[in-house]
Amino acid sequence: MFLDPNYIRDRIRTVPDWPEPGVQFRDITPLLQDPRSFRVLIELFVYRYMNQRLDLIAGIDARGFIVGSVIAHELNLGFVPVRKKGKLPFDTIAEQYALEYGTSTVEMHADSVRPGQRVLLVDDLVATGGTMLAGSKLLQRLGANVVEAAAVVDLPALGGSKAVRASGLSLYTVCE
Ligand code: PRP
Ligand code: ADE
């Protein structure tokens, strides 16, 4: 069981037709609720990144905050939020993108990353890849070296992981 991605996959629930008809929503709350599977998930990321000389973890609003901030804490790194539009109080930069169900804009504080910093971008899930690509663009505009993008779940049928990798960004996902 220890650090077995199947252990993670088994604790992700699929909710049909939410938030709209046709969407198979992958719900990570059962995984987070179970202390053992939450710990296995975090350990998978920690072992992968502990020797990568990272400077910072960037987590995407909102579920990327849950996973990304714990990884940052475990690796003794700082955490910066990639937030939905209108939530950050200081000077921001923004990127708009398309979702599986709608469009959205993400923002970062303009002073959240220093040029050349080695950053891991974290979210819970890659569907169309729009969110991860927008987050990566923001980081690159701030001069970051985006070492990798990481997520718990990949939905390969939606083409996002392929698009992210085609952009030249390395992507790690724990399960499908
Ligand atoms: C979900 C998910 C990812 C994104 C993935 O977030 O948490 O951030 O969609 O989709 P994509 O690969 O097609 O861009 P959502 O925007 O639903 O926001 P939430 O985390 O606040 O629920
Ligand atoms: N974000 C975009 N598509 C999603 C899905 N199918 N499940 C959970 N989060 C998502």
- pLDDT of 6 reads 86
Note whether residue 24 is domain-resident. no
Note whether residue 98 is domain-resident. yes
Mutate which of 14, 15, 23, 63 for ligand 2? The one with the most ligand atoms within 8 Å of its CB, which is 23
Distance of alpha carbon 29 from alpha carbon 141, whole angstroms: 32
Tell the residue nearest (CA) to atom 4 of ligand 2.
25
- pLDDT of 28 reads 98
- pLDDT of 167 reads 97
Note whether residue 23 is domain-resident. no
Mutual angle of helices 63-74 and 35-49, in 10-degree steps: 60
Q: Is 100 in the pocket of ligand 2 (CB under 6 A)?
A: yes
**Residue 112 sits in a domain of what CATH number?**
3.40.50.2020
The total of structural domains in the chain comes to: 1
Note whether residue 1 is domain-resident. no
Note whether residue 77 is domain-resident. yes
Determine the longest span between alpha carbons in the chain, in angstroms: 45
- pLDDT of 1 reads 55
- pLDDT of 100 reads 67
**Tens of pLDDT, residues 12-43:** 999 999 999 999 999 999 999 999 999 999 99
Backbone phi, then psi, for 169, in 5-degree steps? -90, 130
Note whether residue 7 is domain-resident. no
Q: 59: which strand partners?
A: 81, 122
β-bridge pairing 92-99 and 56-60: unpaired
List Cα–Cα distances, 95 to 24, 41, 55, 169, in angstroms: 26, 29, 23, 17
- pLDDT of 2 reads 66
- pLDDT of 43 reads 97
- pLDDT of 97 reads 94
**Is 13 in contact with 24 (CB distance < 8 Å)?**
no
Stretches in the chain below the pLDDT threshold 70: 1-2, 100-101
Domain that holds residue 156: 53-175
Backbone phi, then psi, for 68, in 5-degree steps? -65, -40
- pLDDT of 51 reads 98
